[in-house]
Amino acid sequence: MRMTKKFCNCRDVTYADIMAAMRAGAATAEEVSAATGAGTGCGRCREALDFVVRDFAEELRAERDGSLGL
């Protein structure tokens, strides 16, 4: 996935912004939303944010464990 791709058009949030928020400590969709504004405009991306946060959390765990297959 291209991290520069827009996730939330209303708040101009990219996938990289979401990952940065998670690297800074946001662990839930609500925390990512508070940090980035994602999902707080029209709300169309709100449900998808749950899935993105879950997937990114798995990636971050794999990075920490050294099990990320790069």
pLDDT digits (tens, 9 = 90+) for 48-58: 999 999 999 99
- The number of C-alpha atoms within 13 Å of 68 and in the hemisphere containing its C-beta is 13
Pull the structure tokens for residue 49. 């944010």
Residue 59: partners with Cβ closer than 8 Å, 6 or more residues away? 68
Q: Where are the domains of the chain?
A: 6-65
What tens digit of pLDDT does each residue of 2-56 get?
899 999 999 999 999 999 999 999 999 999 999 999 999 999 999 999 999 999 9
pTM of the model: 0.90
Cβ neighbours for 11, distance < 8 A, ≥ 6 positions apart? 36, 37, 38, 39, 40, 41
CATH T-level assignment (fold) for domain 6-65: Arc Repressor Mutant, subunit A (1.10.10)
- 57-61 mean pLDDT: 96
